[in-house]
Amino acid sequence: MNQSVIRHVIVQGRVQGVGFRAFVEYEAVARGLEGWVRNRHEGTVEAVFKGEETVVLDMIEACKRGPFAARVDALHQRDGDAADFRPHRSGELFSVLPTA
């Protein structure tokens, strides 16, 4: 069995107003991942994924593509920790959070 990991990602490009958060939520839930996604005031989308390493890496690859109307110019990622995961709403597998 794969090791469980937490990854924090920031996606840059045309990623707001194109259904990017809904895309991320759908793809993450379909993969059984925990975490959250939100828009950032500076125009990026931020997300945290928690789950088996290979599944999380596959999710990050999906984020690099995004939904049809999006244009991903860059995706920055790093190892996450419990503090990164904290905004996740209790009782939800994957949370869509307000803009920060």
Just list the catalytic residues.
Answer: 21, 39
C-alpha gyration radius of the chain: 12
Strand intervals (E) in the chain: 4-14, 34-39, 45-52, 71-79, 94-96
CB atoms within 10 A of CB 60: 16
